Amino acid sequence: MQRTDEELMAAVATGDADGFSTFYRRHLPAVTAYFARRVRNREAAFDLAAETFAAVVVSAARFDPERGPAVAWLLGIASHKLTDSIRRERVESDARRRLALQPVSITDADLERVEEAAGTDPDLGELVAALPPDHRDAVTAHVVDERSYREIASDLQCSEAVVRQRVHRGLRRLREHLKEMT
């Protein structure tokens, strides 16, 4: 017998991994399609879907079937995740504009050059180590450790704008050094 979404959510609230797995498989296509239609970026759609289902696990105990069906609750979470994502993007864009920074975009060609340099030039680690400590730490935390600007700023007890600026300047220096090497 197939469990209802509401039964699955009650199971998820108690830590039932099978209940979550069933709920996830049942609704992943719809949630991913919801994001894909709105963000027009496949990777972002999958990231947002993952964030949505992570929020389901964290907040399953707060689901109340008296207030509506589980799928409506799920889509409400998805909507909030989309709104948060748009707001974060706008805040980052505003901060870049205030600091007169261009968005840092790393292309596949950039990554290939770095990989080639790492494979053929043992000085790449030295280039990173030669960055000013605040730039090196910010670049390492954001690019290597894949931490958010917010997390880094919290650890360093500074603003996200300062962290963005350090990452931007550090990456610019590395790019300049890599161009000199090629």
Q: Over its length of 182 residues, how does the chain's per-residue pLDDT go in tens digits?
A: 899 999 999 999 999 989 999 999 999 999 999 988 888 788 888 888 988 998 898 899 999 999 999 999 999 999 999 988 888 776 666 666 676 666 555 566 665 665 565 454 445 567 777 888 888 888 777 776 677 888 888 888 878 788 888 877 877 777 777 666 65
Where along the chain do its domains lie?
A: 5-97, 102-181
Q: Tally DSSP H helices, then E strands, for the chain.
A: 9, 0
Geometric angle at alpha carbon 159, from 111 and 48, rounded to 5°? 55
CATH of domain 102-181: 1.10.10.10
List Cα–Cα distances, 51 to 75, 130, 180, in angstroms: 12, 36, 40
Angstrom distance (rounded) from CA 107 to CA 120: 20
Angstrom distance (rounded) from CA 85 to CA 39: 10
Nearest to 178 by CA among 111, 132, 133: 111
Q: Where are the alpha helices (DSSP H) in 40-69?
A: 42-59
Backbone dihedral region of 3: left (phi > 0), alpha (psi from -120 to 50 degrees) or beta?
beta
User: Domain 5-97, what fold?
Assistant: Rna Polymerase Sigma Factor; Chain: A (1.10.1740)
